[in-house]
Structure 1
């Protein structure tokens, strides 16, 4: 549905700009890598707590559109506040405001994605997942590139205003989405509903493997968010140029997400893609110029491309419809929270070991992540869709 993809992509575009623009704004006004890391972490960390709660509520409510719109309105207000206060107030104010915007962050990924089984027939879900991946990637392509271009051509402040405009437009698009009926059991106690989603994630080995893979991927991506802008100086480029590297990664990712339709189990696809991505990342510190690093970024994106469609497929195939909201937002909260830890870690790691060593650590860490997910897949998968049972 065009209205769905427009609303989802606009919201994700704003979110992709935030992750990069927050770093630029803090570095530009304070010069503190530690504060940049803490602010990025504060934006993402609340999702660890709110994700399962929001998912349980989404499964039980017909007001999904209101929740999605409220997330975007909160983002717009917080970004305007940060524009006024970063560098002109106590350091704790910046991460505190970022945390407010991050509290409803799982809505951007899990909240939208959980709607797919209600919007599309089962035989169309595979194609819907591919386009959902393109929505994420298109936002990830345009978000950092827009932030980098606007910051370089005008100012970081102007990039913040673009986020506010995108959030406002996404609210208008969300208002055109259809109202969907609840999918969960309304009579179930709320806390039991929350625990049920967590238990399902923990006790379904194939879903657990996919979740571990993509969660650890986001942790190391959080480190890259801080490391790449600081690495640009070694290539004779401004910090904002890192946005083009993220764009190059996503261009490669979109290509393989649309072209490649693996027939393997989704958790296997996710593990192999993340391992290949990590292997390519270990070559990034060897790049002698920014142009070479751009090429390597495209190659890395091609390796990572099948990961998102595989993640969506794992959630849908290994979870019943009544758990889609809880599984999607809880998994999203884990991803976002781990990204927060990665950014906070980078604030300490990069000054200690330098950007080149940090990039190598990220690449090797992704290889280890795939191996860890393989061990998480051990066990009997008791919750499968009827299609997979056949």
Structure 2
């Protein structure tokens, strides 16, 4: 008999694959149905910005609910419905209307990431939390590898249909999540952010990951340019991203099978150092070195995420667990967006300079993680 935990992990992988598929599918569909790449880019931008804004709000709603699964199911269904509306409206409705629909839809996106992960303690049973967290991190990296590949294989507009189907497939599993004990009183909207700020371990891990994602967002802008400049074609830069995702997946597979004898706080710091080294190498390397850099970036980025999730699980009070996860995810999304936006003009002038700056940002993130030793104390 399949356990509730196994079903939960499987549904997470499916929904997150749909989410990772949705952005490239919208880009492809926007180009195919309107003839302009600007429409797809605007839709993805609206989804991303709204997801960054919607995390804390959705987290509060989930934390206040005795049946968080019902809210997650509604959010997943709403996200799937929003993608459906965008797909049907492309080429038929004004672009501004579609961007507005994407913005509303994006508010529900954190349900797939932080909102879902926050329910892990309800279903893990006897599985150790660190192992369960590593497997959860594995679903993110697997989705980031499989989703874009499916978009390329499916093409437009079939990719949007597939994304909708994958996200919607997780709705029944969300509905079946167990209830939890009633919680007295109402948790303030800002409580999750306050916990992140006042809890030393959460503050350091969050600061490290957010600053690191500024650099990571900047680096991803550079990969297509690296392909064009050093490998003979921009498409080879996209292949480097696949190598990076494969490295992250492999690293998390190993961590799930053989948990390291290190605190997750330490893993966050070490993996950030690995990212700094990888981006520094990519700035100056030739073709073979770029492959090595992509692998190193992957085996660093994957464990960083897994360790970050473990820190959140360990430190987040039950009353604001979803807030901590969704707010942390929103901050990371915001950092990624800032890095991507700032890197564009720099990379256009010099890819090497942009990558060196991205590596420098990783060193700043590393500094945020080693200011003080992690504290096992929890903020109630």
| TM-score bin (small chain) | 0.7 to 0.9
Q: Contact conserved, 1:23 with 1:226, CA < 8 A, in 2?
A: no
Q: Contact conserved, 2:228 with 2:234, CA < 8 A, in 1?
A: yes
Q: Contact conserved, 1:253 with 1:304, CA < 8 A, in 2?
A: yes
1-structure distance, mates of 2:174, 2:376: 36
TM-score under structure 1 length normalisation: 0.81
| Residue matched to 1:366 | 362
Shift of the 233–379 alpha-carbon distance from structure 1 to 2, 3 Å rule, reads closer
Note the C-alpha offset of 1:15.
Answer: 1.4
Q: Secondary structure at the match of 2:334?
A: helix
Shift of the 323–173 alpha-carbon distance from structure 1 to 2, 3 Å rule, reads closer
Q: Contact conserved, 2:201 with 2:265, CA < 8 A, in 1?
A: yes
Shift of the 182–37 alpha-carbon distance from structure 1 to 2, 3 Å rule, reads farther
| Residue matched to 1:97 | 101
TM-score under structure 2 length normalisation: 0.83
Worse-superposed segment, 82-91 or 16-25: 82-91
Note the C-alpha offset of 1:4.
Answer: 0.1
| Residue matched to 2:68 | 64
Q: Contact conserved, 1:142 with 1:247, CA < 8 A, in 2?
A: no
Q: Contact conserved, 1:38 with 1:344, CA < 8 A, in 2?
A: no
Note the C-alpha offset of 1:214.
Answer: 1.7
- Structure 2 residue runs of 5 or longer lacking an equivalent are none
Deviations 1:179-223 (A, max 9, x none): 22157x3x3234x2x232221110011111111122223333334
Q: Contact conserved, 2:223 with 2:241, CA < 8 A, in 1?
A: no
2-structure distance, mates of 1:205, 1:330: 16
2-structure distance, mates of 1:24, 1:233: 21
| Residue matched to 1:388 | none
* 1:318 equivalent among 315, 320, 323: 315
2-structure distance, mates of 1:382, 1:365: 29
Note the C-alpha offset of 1:117.
Answer: 1.6
Q: Secondary structure at the match of 1:11?
A: helix
Q: Contact conserved, 2:273 with 2:366, CA < 8 A, in 1?
A: yes
Shift of the 148–123 alpha-carbon distance from structure 1 to 2, 3 Å rule, reads closer
| Residue matched to 2:247 | 252
Q: Secondary structure at the match of 2:190?
A: helix
1:337 aligns with 2:343: no
* 2:201 equivalent among 192, 203, 206: 206
Shift of the 66–243 alpha-carbon distance from structure 1 to 2, 3 Å rule, reads farther
Q: How many matched pairs?
A: 370
2-structure distance, mates of 1:44, 1:223: 16
1-structure distance, mates of 2:214, 2:102: 18
2-structure distance, mates of 1:145, 1:14: 11
Deviations 1:212-261 (A, max 9, x none): 1222233333344544345544334455x655433322322233234343
| Residue matched to 1:167 | 167
